[in-house]
Amino acid sequence: MMDIIALRRDLHAHPELGFTEFRTATKVVQILTELGYSVTYGKDAIDDTSRRGLPKPEVLEDAYQRALREGADPVIMEQMRGGFTAVVAEIQGEQEGPTTAFRFDMDALPIRESKLEQHAPQATQFRSRHEGIMHACAHDGHTTIGLALAERLSNRKFAGRIRLLFQPAEEGVRGAYAMVEKGMLEQVDRLFCMHLGTGVPSGHIRGASAGFLATTKLEAHFTGVSSHAGATPEEGRNALLGAATAMLNIHALPRFSSADTRINVGILEGGTGANIIAEHARMVIETRSTSEETNRELERRVRNIIEHSAAMHELTASVEVVGSAIPIRCDMELAELAVQQAEGIAGFTHAEAISDSAALGSEDASYMIRRVQEQGGKATYMIVGSELPAPHHHPEFDIDEAVLAPAVELLEKLARTLQTTDL
């Protein structure tokens, strides 16, 4: 049996940012292959041009070299070069039956992990060895659960097929869409997505989640003409004036009566020196809405503001989608099945199908869920509770490792039950 605590700690100590999960994904490929799964990865598992917010080539390459230095299998990894770090594994059960899929995300965050002694990874010496990168959103736990589940199901004692999706770049909602576009959700009848923590205590499970917002993340570039601010100011075309105008006007977009909305310019940067009229500015924006249509309308308006803020100052502007997600509507049959199956698992003390208290976040698993539902299948997004010493995305974030084993057991029960359940 796999040592899931050791596995989780190894992943925690080697966190990798979105689309650079070379070491992690290679390990996933190796384990799944050894377990007898049919494994698809690299360009076969994710669509090249649908990937959003891809890091620059030199960043991809630096991470690749680091993984090589850390001993990742170069033959497997070669297929992932350039940021193709998705892995999909499938296994056929003893009998015919439906296809059930589980999705696990693998990427970490650009956060410097705490060195405080009360922080368990520091105390127990599995703190991040990649300075400035950290598993602060439990994806190390998710990947571990996925691999442990794979081991349990490798005996093929079930009907139908099991598909395990290991997704890169969930942070920034960048990777799922490209796996969907590559066809990785075709023929899936049931899909379980899952997250640890999110405010739910250890021992609790929630079968479905509400409150996921449609979102689009945009990166805009304004390009003007630099000039000496003292000698020839009139020859400049000031990119920062365009960006500042866009900043204010994007935030001034109206509320919508049709749906809840959110808007944020999270990054604005440009210019090189006090005496130079800024030639270039960069802006990162996100829109959100409870309605996918309203979110698209917000995106349209943001693009229009950027275009004309630039043109007003005779700048050129470009806008690129660097991430996106849609709302999630869970199928309550799956949620209730999860509640039912949690019964009797040691470590679970409370189970509920759904909660009123919706967190207003976004998840690109939403694309996978919708694709399954479009095909006539069912899907849900579950929460497995975990005490957290600090919130998600915090330098002292950590998970309660005791919840990993029950989570694996629950998924296993769902996998086996579902294959014979007519929903």
Query: What is the smallest separation between the CB atom of 195 and a copy of itself, expressed in angstroms?
Result: 15
Candidates 3-11, 79-87, 148-156, 268-276; binding stretch for a copy of itself (CB under 8 A): 268-276
Taking CB under 8 A as the rule, does residue 230 contact a copy of itself?
A: yes
Integer Cα distance of 103 and 273 in angstroms: 47
- The CB density around residue 226, as the number of other CB atoms within 10 Å, is 18
Taking CB under 8 A as the rule, does residue 275 contact a copy of itself?
A: yes
Taking CB under 8 A as the rule, does residue 313 contact a copy of itself?
A: yes
Query: What is the smallest separation between the CB atom of 297 and a copy of itself, expressed in angstroms?
Result: 8
Of 116, 123, 311, 423, the one binding a copy of itself (CB under 8 A) is 311
Of residues 338, 337, 344, 326, the one with CA closest to residue 383: 338
Q: Give the phi and the psi of residue 181 in degrees, each rounded to 5.
A: -60, -25
Residues 238-257 vs a copy of itself: string with x where CB under 8 A?
Answer: x-xx-xxx-xxx-xx-xxxx
Of 101, 148, 200, 281, the one binding a copy of itself (CB under 8 A) is 281
C-alpha distance across the termini of the chain, in Å: 32
Q: Give the phi and the psi of residue 91 in degrees, each rounded to 5.
A: -145, 140
Residues 199-218 vs a copy of itself: string with x where CB under 8 A?
Answer: --------------x-x-x-
Q: Give the phi and the psi of residue 397 in degrees, each rounded to 5.
A: -60, 140
Of 131, 234, 356, 422, the one binding a copy of itself (CB under 8 A) is 234
Write out the binding residues for a copy of itself, residues 362-401 only, by CB under 8 A. 362
Q: Rounded to a whole number, what is the largest CA-CA distance in the chain?
A: 80
Integer Cα distance of 149 and 4 in angstroms: 10
Of 38, 65, 118, 264, the one binding a copy of itself (CB under 8 A) is 264
Tokens representing 69 are 């230095």
Taking CB under 8 A as the rule, does residue 172 contact a copy of itself?
A: yes
Of 148, 285, 339, 407, the one binding a copy of itself (CB under 8 A) is 285
Query: In this complex, which beta carbon is closest to a copy of itself, that of residue 118 or of residue 275?
Result: 275
Query: What is the smallest separation between the CB atom of 310 and a copy of itself, expressed in angstroms?
Result: 8
Q: Give the phi and the psi of residue 251 in degrees, each rounded to 5.
A: -70, -20
Query: What is the smallest separation between the CB atom of 256 and a copy of itself, expressed in angstroms?
Result: 4
What is each CA distance from 26 to 11, 34, 94, 142, in whole angstroms? 12, 12, 28, 16
Query: What is the smallest separation between the CB atom of 300 and a copy of itself, expressed in angstroms?
Result: 10
353, amino acid identity: A
Query: What is the smallest separation between the CB atom of 381 and a copy of itself, expressed in angstroms?
Result: 16
- The CB density around residue 341, as the number of other CB atoms within 10 Å, is 23
Beta pairing, strands 159-167 & 95-105: parallel
What is each CA distance from 25 to 38, 126, 187, in whole angstroms? 15, 19, 24
Taking CB under 8 A as the rule, does residue 288 contact a copy of itself?
A: yes
What b-and-e string marks burial along 383-394, b requiring 16 or more CB atoms within 10 Å of the CB?
A: bbbbebeeebeb
Taking CB under 8 A as the rule, does residue 269 contact a copy of itself?
A: yes
For a copy of itself (CB under 8 A), the number of binding residues is 67
Candidates 29-37, 39-47, 259-267, 344-352; binding stretch for a copy of itself (CB under 8 A): 259-267
Query: In this complex, which beta carbon is closest to a copy of itself, that of residue 229 or of residue 319?
Result: 229
Chain position carrying tokens 């050791």 = 6
Of 21, 107, 292, 297, the one binding a copy of itself (CB under 8 A) is 297
Query: In this complex, which beta carbon is closest to a copy of itself, that of residue 15 or of residue 236?
Result: 236
Residues 315-354 vs a copy of itself: string with x where CB under 8 A?
Answer: -------xx-------------------------------
Of residues 5, 22, 180, the one with CA closest to residue 88: 180
**SS3 string of 146-201?**
HHHHHHHHCCCCCEEEEEEEEECCCCCCCCHHHHHHCCCCCCCCEEEEEEECCCCC
Residues forming contacts to a copy of itself in the complex (CB under 8 A) are 172, 213, 215, 217, 229-234, 236, 238, 240-241, 243-245, 247-249, 251-252, 254-258, 260-278, 281, 284-286, 288, 297, 304-305, 307-309, 311-314, 322-323, 359-362
